[in-house]
Amino acid sequence: MTAPDRPSPALRTEALEQLLVERGLADPAVMDTFIRTYEQDVGPLNGAKVVARAWTDPAYREWLLRDGTAAIADLGFGGPQGEHMVVLEQTDEVHHVVVCTLCSCYPWPVLGLPPSWYKDPAYRAGMVRTPRKVLREMGLEVPEGRRIEVWDSSAEVRYLVLPRRPAGTEGLDADALAGLVGRDAMVGVAEVAAP
C-alpha cells in the first residue's frame, strides 16, 4: 500500500494560513512581521556576521572572546535568549560543542530557531556521554589528538562557537565569509568548509 500524495509542506502551510485568516484567528500583517523577523533579523546569518567580523577584525575577536554579550550586541544582535553570551573559539587543540541537557536553551538572536536534533534527548544525552561518537554520526570526524569540550547551555548562559576560518579564504571580505558560515559550525557539530 502506498501513501496518498500529499501537498508539499509549503502548500499545506499556505492553506493553513489562509484558513486562519479567513476565520479571523490570525492577522496577515502580524504573520508577515514574524516571518520577516525570523528570515532577516533572527537567525544563523546574524551569527555568521559575528563570526566573519571576528575573522577579519582582531580587536573585535578579542572583545568577542572576552565579552561575547557586549560584542554581539555591538552588531545589533541581542535580546531574549541572548542576554548572556559566551563565545568559545575552536583551536587545533580543543573542539567545542554546545548542548542543553535540561531542555533546549539556545541563542536565538544569533542562531535563530533551534534545529529539531538539538532538542532531541538522544543528542543531549549522547553529546555528554560520547561526544566523539555523536559528532562522527553527524558527519564530523574530530581527530583523536583534539580534546572535545562539551558546554551545557542554560537559562543563565548561552554559547556560540567561533569556528576556525578555513584555509584559502584570506582574500574574502566579511560579507563573503559570512556566506560560508552555517549554524551547525556555530554549535560545534560541523566545521566551516572552504569555498
pLDDT tens digits, residue range 134-168?
999 999 999 999 999 999 999 899 999 999 999 99
Residues 81 and 27 in one domain: no
pLDDT band at 79 (very low <50, low <70, confident <90, very high): confident
Residues 84 and 95 in one domain: yes
Residues 114 and 167 in one domain: yes
Phi, psi of 60, deg, nearest 5: -65, -40
> What secondary structure letter does DSSP report for 15?
H
Residues 98 and 13 in one domain: no
In this predicted model, what pLDDT tens digit does every residue of 51-73 receive, in sequence order? 999 999 999 999 999 999 999 99
pLDDT band at 133 (very low <50, low <70, confident <90, very high): very high
Q: Write down the pTM of the prediction.
A: 0.81
Residue 24 within any structural domain of the chain: yes
Q: How many domains does the chain have?
A: 2
Catalytic residue flag (residue 153): no
Residue 90 within any structural domain of the chain: yes
CATH code of the domain covering residue 76: 3.90.330.10
Residues 159 and 112 in one domain: yes
* Catalytic annotation, pick one of 8, 105, 153, 154: 105
Residues 66 and 101 in one domain: yes
Q: What is the CA radius of gyration of the chain?
A: 19
Least confident of 15-19, 37-41, 83-87, 168-172: 37-41
Residues 17 and 95 in one domain: no
Interval 108-123 mean pLDDT: 91
Amino acid code (one letter) for 15: A
Q: Using an 8 Å Cβ cutoff, are 63 and 50 in contact? A: no
Residues 101 and 112 in one domain: yes
Residue 161 within any structural domain of the chain: yes
What average pLDDT is seen over the chain? 91
pLDDT surpasses 90 at 94: yes
Residue 3 within any structural domain of the chain: no
Catalytic residue flag (residue 100): yes
pLDDT band at 4 (very low <50, low <70, confident <90, very high): low
* Catalytic annotation, pick one of 8, 100, 116, 154: 100
What residue numbers bound the domain in which 153 lies? 43-187
Interval 74-99 mean pLDDT: 94
Determine the pLDDT at residue 1: 43
Residues 73 and 99 in one domain: yes
Residues 110 and 67 in one domain: yes
Residues 84 and 13 in one domain: no
* Catalytic annotation, pick one of 8, 103, 153, 154: 103
Cell numbers found for residue 151: 558546554
Residue 4 within any structural domain of the chain: no
Residues 24 and 93 in one domain: no
In terms of phi and psi (left: phi > 0; alpha: psi -120 to 50; beta: otherwise), the region of 24 is: left
Question: Which ranges constitute the DSSP H helices of the chain?
Answer: 9-22, 28-36, 44-56, 58-66, 68-74, 108-111, 116-119, 121-129, 131-137, 174-178, 183-187
Cell numbers found for residue 107: 541563542
Distances (CA, A) of 106 to 59, 113, 124, 160: 26, 8, 13, 9
